[in-house]
Amino acid sequence: VFLGVENIYDANLRGMRKHSSEDLARRAIESLHDAGITTLAGIISGNPDDTEETIRGNIRWFKDYPVDAVMPQFITPYPGTSSREELLKEGLVVNKGGMNNKYGGWSTYNGEFAHCKTKSGLMPEEIERIVYEEIQAFNGITTTKNFLAGNLNFPKNNPKHFLVWVITESIPSALVDIKEIGKSSATRATLERRRKIAM
Q: What is the pLDDT of residues 16-57, one digit of tens each?
A: 888 889 999 999 999 999 999 999 999 999 999 999 999 999
The answer to whether residue 199 scores a pLDDT higher than 80 is no
The predicted structure's pLDDT at residue 165 = 85
Q: Is the pTM of this model over 0.85?
A: yes
Q: What pLDDT sits at residue 13?
A: 86
Q: Which residues contact 73 (CB under 8 A, 6 or more apart)?
A: 42, 43, 44, 45, 111, 112
For residues 58 and 43, the answer to whether their CB atoms sit within 8 Å is yes
- Sign of the C-alpha dihedral computed for residues 176, 180, 184 and 186 taken in this order: negative
Give Dmax (Cα) for the chain. Answer: 49
pLDDT on residue 187: 87
Burial status of residue 35 (CB atoms within 10 A of its CB: 0-12, 13-18, 19 or more): exposed
Instruction: Write out pLDDT tens, residues 107-123.
Output: 999 999 999 999 999 99
Band of the pLDDT at 188, cuts 50, 70, 90? confident
- Binned at pLDDT 50, 70 and 90, residue 58 comes out as very high
DSSP states of the chain: -EEEEE-S-HHHHHHTT----HHHHHHHHHHHHHTT---EEEEEE--TT--HHHHHHHHHGGGGS--SEEEEEE----TT-HHHHHHHHTT-BS---SS--TT-GGGG-SSSS--B--TT---HHHHHHHHHHHHHHIIIIIHHHHHHTT--HHHHH-HHHHHHHIIIIIHHHHHHHHHTTTS-HHHHHHHHHHHHHH-
How confident is the model at residue 64, as a pLDDT? 92
pLDDT the model gives residue 68: 94
Q: Model confidence over 80-91: pLDDT tens digits?
A: 999 999 999 999
* Structure confidence at residue 16 (pLDDT): 85
- Is 80 exceeded by the pLDDT of residue 177? no
Residue 101: pLDDT band with limits 50, 70, 90: confident
Backbone angles phi, psi at 43, to 5 degrees: -130, 160
**141-176 pLDDT per residue, tens:** 898 899 999 999 999 999 999 899 888 888 887 787
Instruction: Give the mean pLDDT of 86-113.
Output: 91
Length of the chain: 199
Q: What is the pLDDT of residue 93?
A: 97
Radius of gyration of the CA atoms of the chain, in A: 17
Tell me the pLDDT of the chain averaged across its residues.
91
**Strand-by-strand arrangement of the 2-6 sheet:** 2-6, 40-45, 69-74
